[in-house]
Amino acid sequence: MPKAPVLVDLKFSGRAMIVEALGSFFSDRPVIDLADPQTKGRDLSDCRYAVLWKPDDDLFSRAPNLEVLFSGGAGVERVLALQGLPDIPLVRFVDPSLTRRMSEYVVLQCLHHARRMPDYARLKAEKDWQPLPPAEAGDFTVGIMGLGVLGRDAAAKLKIMGFNVIGWSRRKKEIDSVECFDARGLDDFLARTDILVGLLPLTDETAGIFNRALFEKLRRSGPLGSPVFINAGRGGSQVEADLLAALDEGLLHGVSLDVFETEPLPATSPLWAHERVVVTPHVASDTDVRALFAHVERQIARFEAGEPLQHVVNRAAGY
């Protein structure tokens, strides 16, 4: 009996990498790539699996018999917000490649600020040869908000570099050599944090959580005199007007942002020109398509063997 087709609807930049990757995966079943013009108008009622990122609005009405959905990225809030989302398992993309690259980004940005690279960039522009007071990783406490797979690995890598690391999540986690706080301990967590790292999913509880009131609670006695904020989680968790005001008023010493309230970041945003803001275009842990398809193949094999799917989203929690 022929195996059920996999439906692919991925609105990624770089169409060529998707086409190339599809040539190496799903060899045992048909693949319907909705970006291929030849699939226009095709009956999708035989599809049982769908790999999605910003899918077409009519997808679920065209494919009414889906049994499992796979998110094309680590985040799932866009999928959860889709019109007509069927009540079937939604699987997050969890892969070592995503985790490694996120940890690299977090370590890079923490070192970037700890070693005062934004200040040296300003001095360079002024041709001012001025050594600044030295500091090392062990002089800073990095507080990570969000202790899932990405947050745990980032904590481990930061500790290898010598940073003091603490963590926060809504429900308290247990991580070796990392003191963890829960929702009730947020103020205590913030009061000890010199560099705040946001790796939170976007939910009703986390929307806009990185705001002025939160920044005011961060520690102000660290080596830089004011704290640093790094967000590689979700743009909807930050209030960018508050970020800019906090920088201008000295509540924050510097900021690194990989995610934004509106993406792409509008050309009119003052974040582009601010000398204390590092801007990257949501690439801290962008999807490796080959790793994504390998992950989907593994999960489909489990599903068809009667084994439980891994990394299924808890819709009530939002992640």
User: For this structure, is 282 an active site residue?
Assistant: yes
- As a whole number of angstroms, the distance between CA 49 and CA 68 comes to 5
Active-site pick, 234, 253, 295, 311: 234
Contacts within 8 Å (CB) and 24+ apart, 27-36: 28/3, 29/2, 29/3, 29/4, 29/5, 30/2, 30/3, 30/5, 30/6, 31/5, 31/6, 32/5, 32/6, 32/7, 32/8, 33/8, 34/7, 34/8, 34/9, 34/59, 35/8, 35/9, 35/10
- What are 285's two structure tokens? 């842990």
Beta strands in the chain (DSSP E): 6-10, 31-33, 49-53, 68-71, 90-91, 141-145, 164-168, 179-181, 195-198, 228-231, 254-257, 277-279
Active-site pick, 29, 78, 112, 282: 282
- The owner of tokens 């062990």 is 138
Enzyme catalytic residues: 234, 282
